[in-house]
């Protein structure tokens, strides 16, 4: 393997390691408060102690669960794992690995090939 390919492999490997650490550890520190879109959709509603809509007039009243709400990776976690820190971290790692595999596969399929047949 040439020095250029080794440097590229080290760079990609370190990038993957950083992405996995961020997804696995830092993702659990994300705020559980509604983001800007959710907060705007909830304006005008009244809520009970369990944060369920009890009245008012807002967009969130007409919200429905997504068709994949019962999937194994729904709601930034993994179904069946009760520890929220571990569940969120593992779902982040799974997401990074899935996106990396799809992206790597696409790059491998679409890469330029040497006209002489050498890779």
Between residues 103 and 76, which one has the greater pLDDT?
A: 103
pLDDT of the residue at 94: 92
Going from N- to C-terminal start, the domains of the chain cover 1-30+66-119, 32-63
**Strand pairing partners for 56?**
45
Report pLDDT digits (tens) over 38-95: 888 999 999 999 888 898 988 888 888 888 888 888 888 898 999 988 999 999 999 9
pLDDT of the residue at 98: 93
Question: CA-to-CA distance for 63 and 48, rounded, in angstroms?
Answer: 17
Query: Does the pLDDT at position 24 exceed 70?
Result: yes
> Residue 18, SS3?
helix
Of 63, 67, 65, residue with least CA distance to 45:
63
Question: CA-to-CA distance for 114 and 49, rounded, in angstroms?
Answer: 65
Tokens of 85: 């820190």
Entry pTM: 0.69
> Residue 64, SS3?
coil
pLDDT of the residue at 116: 63
Of 57, 59, 61, 62, residue with least CA distance to 44:
57
> Residue 54, SS3?
strand
């Amino acid at each position: 393997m040439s020095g250029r390919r080794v440097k590229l492999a080290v760079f990609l490997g370190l990038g993957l390691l950083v992405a996995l650490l961020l997804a696995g550890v830092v993702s659990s520190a994300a705020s559980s408060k509604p983001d800007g879109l959710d907060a705007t959709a909830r304006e005008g509603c009244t809520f009970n102690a369990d944060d369920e809509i009890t009245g008012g007039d807002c967009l969130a009243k007409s919200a429905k669960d997504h068709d994949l709400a019962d999937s194994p990776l729904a709601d930034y976690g993994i179904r069946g794992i009760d520890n929220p820190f571990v569940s969120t971290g593992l779902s982040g790692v799974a997401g990074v690995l899935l996106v990396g595999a799809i992206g790597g596969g696409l790059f491998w399929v679409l890469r330029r090939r040497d006209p002489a047949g050498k890779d």
